[in-house]
Amino acid sequence: MSTSAPAPEERGAHRAGRFWSVRRAPAVLLALAVLGGTGLLLYDIAAVRAGRPGMRWRRVLAEGLAGRPLDDLWVRVGAGAAMALGLWLLVLALTPGLRAVLPMRRGPAQVRAGLDREAVVLVLRDRAMEVGGVQSVRVRAGRGKAMVRAVAHFRELDDVRADLTAALDGAVRELGLARPPALSVYVTRPARKR
């Protein structure tokens, strides 16, 4: 196993923040639900002010809530569901959301760019397959770590691991990520056929 950390000059380039997702669909759905609910409630209030009876669903709901104590099971379940929905909406509002996009370093033009994790996996896998002696490679890339598992078939494992680590370190530097992932390189022999 070999682990490499980002170079010191690359560690100072952490100024690029994560990308925030737009979340248009949840915002539209929530806005439509709030608009529909408030419109229906305002219509009912206007109808009551005009001398008409209130909508049946609102009268039943008001009578049911007036007759139930606060420690009733269904009141607690409804309050818990409303609280869970509210917390979920707060988490969505306060977190970036685009976890699959890794921010790249900003250059002198201050252009904001990102690289998809799948693209990082493809680049690392292609670069690993160029190393002599590598038969197959599996790569998993996260925000902070990239794990490379290679199968070497005709060279010494230590030589393949050293060449693979050097090639992948160069590939990670060339990607230009703001927070280059730490590499974990594992090299094994192929399983014997029976």
End-to-end CA distance of the chain: 27
Count Cβ neighbours within 10 Å for each residue of 159-194 and write b for 16 or more, e otherwise: ebbebbbebbbebbeebbbbbbbebbbebeeeeeee
Digit-coded pLDDT (tens) for 92-148: 777 777 778 888 888 777 778 888 999 999 999 999 999 999 999 999 998 889 999
In order of 42, 67, 100, 155, the CA distances from 53 in angstroms are: 14, 20, 54, 87
Digit-coded pLDDT (tens) for 148-190: 999 998 889 999 999 999 999 999 999 989 889 999 999 999 8
More confident residue, 4 or 127: 127
* Reported pTM: 0.61
